[in-house]
């Protein structure tokens, strides 16, 4: 029985008192993370001062980088520095996870400086502020479902959910799933709990497994048309994204104007902030729903999928395209394809970033070096006329077959 890591998110339906309790734990997590950061900064400053005194490296003040060291310092400090933690009866599991979160951020920064971490450069951790959002974590299965519509949260108590969790509780009950952590988060005044699971997906994956004779396809991603899918049967399908952010621009503009007219610290300003957050939340949900439905359909109906290796970070540096690129969610689309294809037995092949899929003629393989972004269609010297997106999808499919 093979197990995979998977998340399961459900919206909570807390009472007014429980909302206040959840906010207290989110504030506790923020306080602990800032306590850990202050401790590390003080140790680093002390080391720098000691170097100026000529003290050797082996005798410098140690820095508490690890989660156990940070947690030990918190346990020693909170009885006098933060007596309200014990008096309020808040969960002791939240500070433990806050120390782990801060230690992970410090480790990522250190690895990034040494070149041991892939991806973009990671900066030194910064202070957590209230405006950064409310969230906190529980370790292991401290937070767990107690029924199809009830979750037990330490320090908060049993909280009802707005969604049925029978899919999860059934698997926990017969041993097919195990909770390894939980994150509680607030967005736009609504609370969610996300369970991190180790789960056996054999039944679901077998039921949805891709057929052995399913077609293969190449996918060209773009802004005018989100995806052009060309499969080896000769069919070409165009997928248009909902462009949720673009559709919400008028609402966002009016909501931001209303916010600007409100006095700072007023109740109306708090309402205006929640209005803006609710619009952004709706946009995020529309985009996520579109991407999940599309990637699931592709992973269960295509035996092999060829995609581009897009430089999304570079595309975002273009001021004219940044909003449209962010609205599309190209990176999230590829990420979802990669893990869903492993579930359902299909594969994803990524072309080299510099592969000229758009400029190459899919008939004679000649490269049109003079093709520009504004050229939506072009004619090759061999006489073939191409739609640039359809042509790119066919070339990606051909490249995948040649490579595999």
Residue numbers annotated as active site: 220, 308, 389
Cα 300 vs. chain centroid, distance in angstroms? 22
**Rounded to an integer, what distance in angstroms lies between the CA atom of residue 175 and that of residue 198?**
10
**Rounded to an integer, what distance in angstroms lies between the CA atom of residue 132 and that of residue 40?**
21
C-alpha torsion sign, points 82, 86, 91, 95: positive
Which residues of 149-207 form beta strands (DSSP E)? 150-153, 157-160, 177-187, 190-199
φ, ψ for residue 60, nearest 5 deg = -70, 155
**Rounded to an integer, what distance in angstroms lies between the CA atom of residue 290 and that of residue 57?**
55
Q: What is the dihedral of CA 67, 72, 77, 79, to 10 degrees?
A: 120
Nearest Cα to Cα of residue 75 among 115, 44, 35: 35
**Rounded to an integer, what distance in angstroms lies between the CA atom of residue 377 and that of residue 235?**
19
**Rounded to an integer, what distance in angstroms lies between the CA atom of residue 105 and that of residue 103?**
5
Residues 6+ apart with CB under 8 A from 191: 11, 12, 14, 19, 22, 184, 185
**Rounded to an integer, what distance in angstroms lies between the CA atom of residue 122 and that of residue 79?**
34
Structure tokens at 167: 């899919």
Helix axes 93-114 and 16-52, enclosed angle (nearest 10): 40
Nearest Cα to Cα of residue 398 among 372, 371, 360: 360
Nearest Cα to Cα of residue 331 among 318, 314, 319, 344: 314
């Amino acid at each position: 029985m093979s197990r995979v890591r998977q998340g399961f998110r459900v919206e909570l339906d807390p009472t007014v008192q429980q909302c206040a309790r959840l906010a207290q734990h989110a504030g506790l997590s923020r306080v602990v993370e800032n306590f850990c950061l202050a401790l590390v900064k003080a140790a680093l400053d002390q080391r720098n001062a000691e170097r100026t005194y000529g003290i050797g490296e082996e005798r410098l003040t140690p820095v508490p980088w690890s989660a156990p060291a940070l947690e030990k310092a918190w346990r020693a400090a909170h009885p006098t520095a933060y007596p309200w933690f014990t008096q309020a009866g808040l969960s002791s599991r939240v500070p433990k996870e806050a120390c782990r979160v801060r230690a992970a951020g410090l480790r990522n920064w250190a690895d990034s400086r040494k070149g041991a971490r892939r991806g973009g450069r990671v900066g030194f951790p910064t202070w957590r502020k209230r405006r950064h959002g409310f969230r906190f974590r529980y370790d292991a299965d401290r937070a767990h479902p107690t029924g199809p519509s009830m979750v037990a949260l330490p320090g908060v108590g049993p909280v009802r959910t707005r969604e049925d969790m029978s899919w999860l509780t059934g698997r926990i009950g017969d041993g097919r799933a195990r909770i390894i952590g939980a994150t509680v988060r607030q967005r736009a005044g609504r609370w969610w709990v996300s369970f991190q699971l180790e789960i056996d997906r054999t039944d679901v994956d077998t039921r949805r497994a891709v057929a052995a004779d399913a077609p293969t396809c190449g996918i060209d991603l773009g802004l005018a048309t989100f995806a052009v899918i060309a499969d080896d049967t000769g069919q070409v399908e165009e997928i248009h994204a909902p462009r949720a952010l673009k559709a919400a621009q008028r609402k966002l503009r009016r909501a931001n104007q209303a916010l600007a007219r409100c006095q700072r610290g007023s109740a109306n300003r708090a309402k205006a902030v929640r209005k803006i957050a609710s619009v952004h939340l709706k946009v995020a949900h529309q985009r996520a729903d579109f991407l999940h439905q599309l990637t699931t359909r592709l992973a269960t109906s295509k035996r092999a999928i060829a995609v581009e290796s897009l430089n999304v970070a570079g595309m975002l540096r273009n001021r004219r395209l940044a909003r449209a690129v962010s609205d599309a969610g190209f990176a999230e689309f590829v990420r979802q394809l990669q893990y869903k294809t492993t579930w359902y037995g299909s594969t994803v092949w990524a072309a080299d970033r510099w592969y000229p899929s758009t400029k190459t003629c899919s008939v004679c393989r000649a490269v049109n070096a003079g093709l520009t972004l504004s050229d939506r269609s072009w004619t090759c010297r061999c006489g073939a006329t191409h739609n640039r997106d359809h042509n790119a999808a066919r070339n990606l499919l051909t490249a995948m077959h040649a490579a595999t």
